[in-house]
Structure 1
Amino acid sequence: MKQKKADNADTSAVATILLATVKGDVHDIGKNIVGVVLACNGYRIVDLGVMVPTDKILDEAQKVGADIIGLSGLITPSLDEMVHVAHEMKRRGMKQPLLIGGATTSRMHTAVKIAPQYDHGVIHVLDASRSVTVAGSLLNNDTKSGFLNTLRNEYDKLAESFHAKKVVKNYLPLAAAQQNKVPINWEGYTPPTPAFTGTKTITDITVETLRPYIDWKPFFIAWEMHGNFPEILTDKVVGTEATKLYNDANALLDKVAAEQWLTPKGVVGFWPAINEGDDVLLQHNNQTTKLNFLRQQAQKAAGQPNFSLADYIAPEPGDHIGAFAVTIAGLEKWIAKFEAEHDDYNKIMLQALADRLAEAFAEYLHEKVRKEYWGYQQQESLSNEQLIKEEYVGIRPAPGYPACPDHTEKYKLFALLNAGEATGITLTESMAMYPASSVCGWYFSHPQSQYFGIGKIQRDQLEDYAKRKGEPIEYAEKWLRPVLE
């Protein structure tokens, strides 16, 4: 898949498609694959990279004469940024169709939130293979009008369906949801004590250490091959291609490990903690840090609790909470090398592998926590398949994800761990971690702890959360917008 940079092409003969990962977001594997696929189909690609402000996207689109603009993003704040881009395109009187893609995007969000902001076509593109058909339909004068009219009708129906469903859902007042918390018998439970409190920097991990912990399924999904691993290698439809990809990936991993291209860096910490309602009070250097959590408000069937992560911390002294941050450092040098060689295949391959190694590091470190650092499952013996299925005791939810959707709690996590100095990870203005191949989260050890999604919350919880957090309601509203009913 070696491909010369498409923006060297004859601009008078080919359509130009401008691609960018929006402001504050650093993830671009999917965008890079889309760019390669479109370039291979004859389009001129102008890729602005990651963390691109709205004005730069639109200024460059006008400068290069873009026929289509494509936006990418992974973290939830990117959804709001895409709405802003569409709004600005309308304000500027632009006419180019707008493509929307990325892990957190969806047809429903595009129909409800982004499409109403812009009148000249907003199209959610599920994967790279469909981008060619979509681009072709948009750039053909005979098909564009019909394509957009059909799409507009589909999105109108989606939006109607979305708004109709809103009235059917039943929610509890926050006080009632708080009365229905996770039932835990704290009197009959002795919390485990970590081997240390404070932080520990992890410096002795190699790529070879992490390879056995790789979950290969998301690797193939990144390349738009869907199926379980290893069954995908013998799949009748994609097996041959999947096997070649897997072999190429392992050959590159061999080289990465042997020549030490990448350096895993991590930090882990534990602190005394106590539950206080929907908050957790954490003792750190003779100071108290308050972690703020949300609670499910949807009305549940009898006997089903309204979950909050705070429920998993004991209401009396003796319990602890943990945190971690891991990254795969050193990627930029090799990405630049592959870009200079116009080797898109190995560039994307290395990015995808770095992401898998970061997740593998998180898996490896969590096992180390359970068996040694916190030591509450010292005799644990799980296969990689069991780890992937999360058959272990305890959880590691990440700020910004379903159980704790407020990305700004990362500020507290990073401060507690001194993660920037320990690992080199930084946070963007949208709370994405850079380098992109990074993972962070909290550790909960209670055997009843489990993963869940908060779902939608009501105004009373938004107001309560803002008060507990000590922030203006507008601040909380901005960061919790994806979960506001």
Structure 2
Amino acid sequence: NSINLEDGLEKFERVAPLARAYGAALVVGCIDEDKEQAQAITRQRKLEIALRSWQLLTERYGIRPGDIIFDPLVFPCATGDANYRGSAVETIEGIRLIKEALPDAKTVLGISNVSFGLPEAGREVLNSVFLYHCTKAGLDLAIVNAEKLERYASIPEEERRLAEDLLYDRGQDPIAAFAAHFRGATARSKPIAAELPLDDRLANYIIEGSRDGLVADLDLKMQEAAPLEIINGPLMKGMDEVGRLFNANELIVAEVLQSAEAMKAAVSHLERFMEKSDSHSRGRLLLATVKGDVHDIGKNLVDIIVSNNGYEVVNLGIKVAPEALIEAAQRHRPDVIGLSGLLVKSAQQMAITAGDLHDAGVDAPLLVGGAALSDKFTRTRIAPRYDATVVYCKDAMNGLDTLNRLMNPDARRELEATLAEHREPGEAVARAGEPAPAEPQVRSSRVRVDVEIPPVPDLERHVEEARDLDEVWSYVNPQMLYGRHLGFRGRFSEALAAGDVKAIDLEKKIEAVKQECRDGAMHVRAVWRFFEAESDGNELRLFEPGEAAPATTFRFPRQRRPDGLSIPDFVLPRRDGARDHVALLVTTAGEGIAELAARAKAAGEYVRSYALQALALESAEAAAEWLHARLRAAWGFADDPSTPRKALFQAQYRGKRYSFGYPACPELEQQAKLFQLLRPDEIGVNLTEGFMMEPEATVSALVFHHPDAVYFSAGVEEEGPTE
């Protein structure tokens, strides 16, 4: 089942040409013809054999590097054989050395051999701890019995310590200490699924997000119940438990999506046996991203979760105008309408859309959600315009819970009574009638003007495609990708370093999507340019080289507070006739991603679909961070190489970048001026009629070098600068 050098080149000569001819991968054992130690025990011997085998296979036999899988070998570390004492740590470190020297190669181990000769319960623990440390060292593939594997995170600390002492050969007699602790202990094998009652098994498939055996058990259940009864019975019981576990912080978004995949597979199988008149719908939701907004990922997550909890979803897509929503509401007669949007302007558009729906006589309950929304904005700005039930939902699962309550008459009455208690209809009307106070125009004294103007290397327009996606991904903020998008709770990087099982599993899922992107699914592109710049009060003027008239003028709001800030404050006054400079940039990672994610969603691959969109969004952000670092270097103040990425994510560097639609520059309309100057259509980015960028995974920004630049919210009297 593998090749090695035990008999010299004999096996290589016989097998390698066949593997190359048929495109097969090869498992290569770390064994050679050495008479004293043919099987490599030490880390150095493992590396030596791997390097020799690699050179032979790639250079002499033409095997692709990615088709070589090294087995560094596992030996029993607790039999008392002096030759194998300490061999476990040699295997762990051998993996690390091989992966460092040959990053394109893969590694594989048969894990359980490490615990041969130990009590059964102890074997489960030792195997789990060994697998964890091997994975951290870079192990790619493992042969394990999943039913005999204890979750690393659930192993008591004392037992982990005993296992690590044995693996790393620490202490006077780690074998005796480990064996004594586990002697007589009961094995911890998982409950056998086949022994559970059938209904519990069906619910468990959904809870675990597993499809292994699902169809066979569905067929068995259909001998005693109709398909619709199965959907509304054990399968929905499983989805209800998924919701409970998520709300109890015991499941994350990625796991909920796995459960949705299992539910989709179950319903798809059962639908083949249902009459056309059968309906398992609990209600109909009309879903849309509001006019002018291209952001799709949050709405699609709602679609997946709600549709796999028994509801019919009519998804109208993005940039849905009020008149299109009204027409769809009249045609589909939904029980509930859901509106999604990301930016401040989208929240304002929701209020307009709510008013238009009301004027057209639509009165279905309205669920609203998005990053710029809040419960207060919903109550004071949206609800008064709709004059019917309007509920703010903070996330997709909260939306599902609200939908369930609205479809239950008693729960709906209770919810509507609560909303009525907190309704504030007069507040929005009063504010709308008040004249806006005059906006200050004076530059803030908090921003110094005695700073030297740094030179820039050129004033040319640059267009580039990132050749190394992994370099760009090194700027991905893991808390945003894994926490905000994929729902991991807590500090992801710390959890991953500590061996948290969910963190490890989530990283593997994203790595699979990254490999798909490396293989051509994703293209990261950027366009940027330095411009000569001047400021005048709240205006920022950009110039072509040496020109007296500005190429364009941006106008920004100023904080309505004493000595308030406005973005143009961060441009230095002319000095000896020389102007300061501002950089403009657009980065994108979205080409083809929406279509690829849609195909995955249609195929029921919900985790992959959502992960593709999330990775694309954060790749565009990472590309902006990557490019901003290069711009700082071009200005002459490159980041110290020792600066941790976490410091960059917290903007702990000189200068800042600002994007339209966010608190310091909320007016999206000015995006058009940036587009006229940079022409990002060359990298596949276009501007919608609502001044948002397509594709969704795109970032634009104005970049300033001033050391006093900070992030802040403009035009709000009570808010000051925010870091």
TM-score over 0.5 for the pair? yes
Partner of 1:143, secondary structure, is helix
TM-score under structure 1 normalisation? 0.83
Specify which of 44, 61, 68 is matched with residue 329 of structure 2: 61
Match of 1:441 in 2: 701
Which deviates further from its counterpart, 446-455 or 345-354?
446-455
> Which of 378, 390, 393 is the aligned partner of 1:122?
390
Cα 1:42–1:148 shift into 2, 3 Å:
same
**Distance of 2:405 and 2:640 partners within structure 1:** 58
Q: Residue 172 and residue 99 in structure 1: after superposition, are their counterparts in 2 closer, same or farther (change >3 A)?
A: closer
Deviations 1:10-45 (A, max 9, x none): 557431111111111111211111222212221111
The answer as to whether partners of 1:77 and 1:430 remain within 8 angstroms in 2 is: no
Deviations 1:99-153 (A, max 9, x none): 0011111101101111011222000011112122211111112221221121121
The amino acid across from 1:223 in the alignment is: L
CA contact (8 A) 2:303 2:315 kept: yes
- Contact kept in structure 1, 2:443 and 2:565, CA below 8 Å: no
Q: 1:420 maps to what in 2?
A: 681
Q: How does 1:272-421 map to 2 (within 5 A)?
A: 272-284=532-544, 286=547, 287-288=549-550, 289-299=552-562, 305-316=563-574, 317-328=578-589, 329-371=591-633, 373-377=634-638, 381-421=642-682
User: Identity, % of aligned pairs?
Assistant: 30
Whether contact under 8 Å (2:280, 2:310) holds in the other structure is no
Query: Against the structure 1 CA distance between its residues 311 and 424, is the aligned structure 2 distance closer, same or farther, given a 3 Å change threshold?
Result: same
For the aligned residues, what is the CA RMSD?
A: 2.8
CA–CA distance in 2 between the matches of 1:11 and 1:63? 19
Deviation at 1:338, TM superposition (A): 0.9
Deviates more, 1:350-359 or 1:204-213: 204-213
User: Does the aligned pair in 2 maintain the 1:195–1:375 contact within 8 Å?
Assistant: no
Q: Which of these two proteins has the greater Rg computed from alpha carbons?
A: 2
- Answer yes or no: is 1:216 the counterpart of 2:478: yes
Structure 1 residue aligned with 2:520? 260
C-alpha spacing 1:181/1:165, structure 2 compared with 1 (3 Å): farther
Aligned counterpart for 2:297 among listed residues 12, 17, 29? 29
Structure-1 separation of matches of 2:487 and 2:426: 30
Residue 342 of structure 1 and its aligned partner are, at CA, apart by: 2.7
Contact 1:21 1:27 in 2 (8 A): yes
Residue 423 of structure 2 aligns to a residue whose secondary structure is: helix
The amino acid across from 2:286 in the alignment is L
Counterpart CA distance in 1 for 2:361 and 2:381 is 19
Q: Which moved more, 1:114-123 or 1:2-11?
A: 2-11
Paired letter, 1:190: E
Q: Output the amino acid matched with 2:319.
A: M
Which SS does the other structure have where 1:61 is aligned? Answer: helix
Q: For residues 330 and 179 of structure 1, what CA distance do their matches in structure 2 show? A: 44
Q: Are 2:532 and 2:580, in contact at CA under 8 Å, matched by a contact in 1?
A: yes
Counterpart in the other structure of 1:184:
448
CA–CA separation in structure 2 for the residues paired with 1:340 and 1:179: 53
Separation in 2, partners of 1:295, 1:434: 29
How far is 1:243 from its partner? 3.7
Q: What does residue 228 of structure 1 align with? A: 491
Structure 2 CA distance for aligned equivalents of residues 242 and 22 of structure 1: 34
Q: Distance in 1 between matches of 2:404 and 2:495?
A: 30
CA separation in 2, counterparts of 1:109 and 1:420?
Answer: 35
The TM-score with structure 2 as length reference comes to 0.57
In the alignment, is the contact (CA less than 8 A) between 2:294 and 2:695 conserved in 1?
A: yes
Distance in 1 of aligned mates of 2:488 and 2:588? 25
Q: Greater RCO between the two (CA within 8 Å, min separation 6)?
A: 1
Describe the shift of the 1:37–1:389 C-alpha distance in structure 2 as closer, same or farther (beyond 3 A): same
Give unpaired runs (5+ residues) of structure 1. 300-304, 459-485
User: Match of 1:268, SS?
Assistant: strand
2:344 paired with 1:76: yes
Among 476, 499, 508, the alignment partner of 1:247 is 508
Report the CA distance shift for 1:244/1:163 in structure 2 as closer, same or farther (over 3 A): farther
Distance in 1 separating the partners of 2:706 and 2:362: 54
CA 57–160 in structure 1, closer or farther in 2 if over 3 Å, else same: closer
**CA–CA separation in structure 2 for the residues paired with 1:326 and 1:398:** 12
Give the letter aligned to residue 184 of structure 1.
R
For the residue of structure 1 that corresponds to 2:657, the secondary structure is coil
Match 2:316 to one of 48, 57, 76:
48
Distance 1:234 1:17 in 2: 41
Structure 1 residue 456 corresponds to structure 2 residue 723:
no
The one-letter code sitting in structure 1 at the alignment partner of 2:490 is: G
Cα separation, 2, equivalents of 1:323 and 1:149 = 50
Unaligned stretches of 5+ residues in structure 2? 1-257, 719-723
Tell whether the 8 Å contact from 1:397 to 1:443 is kept in structure 2 after alignment.
Answer: yes
Hey, what's the Cα distance between the residues in 2 that align with 1:325 and 1:334?
22
- Superposed displacement of residue 264, structure 1: 0.6
**Secondary structure, aligned partner of 1:78:** helix
1:174 CA displacement: 4.1
Shift of the 416–179 alpha-carbon distance from structure 1 to 2, 3 Å rule, reads: closer
Amino acid corresponding to residue 470 of structure 2 in structure 1? E
The alpha-carbon deviation at position 248 of structure 1 amounts to 0.6
- Give the whole-Å Cα distance in 2 for the aligned partners of 1:11 and 1:430: 39
Equivalent residue, structure 1, for 2:401: 133
- Paired with 1:124 and 1:183, the residues of 2 have a C-alpha distance of 39
CA distance, structure 2, for counterparts of residue 225 and residue 23 of structure 1: 31
For 1:90-169, what aligned pairs fall within 5 Å after superposition? 90-156=358-424
Within the candidate set 506, 526, 529, 1:269 is matched to: 529
Matched pairs, number: 439
Paired letter, 1:182 = R
Q: Secondary structure at the match of 1:230?
A: helix
Per-residue deviation at 1:424?
1.4
Q: Which digits, 9 at most, give the CA deviation of each residue in 1:356-393, with x for residues without a partner?
A: 1011101100111111x333337564221111111111
**Structure 1 counterpart SS, 2:461:** strand
Return 340-349 or 438-447, whichever deviates more: 340-349
Distance in 1, matches of 2:625 and 2:325, equals 37
Kindly indicate whether the alpha-carbon contact (under 8 Å) linking 2:584 and 2:703 is maintained by their aligned counterparts in 1.
yes
Q: 1:160 to 1:232 in 2, by over 3 A?
A: farther
Q: Offset of 1:399 from its aligned partner?
A: 1.7
Q: Provide the C-alpha distance between the structure 2 equivalents of 1:91 and 1:235, rounded to a whole number of angstroms.
A: 56
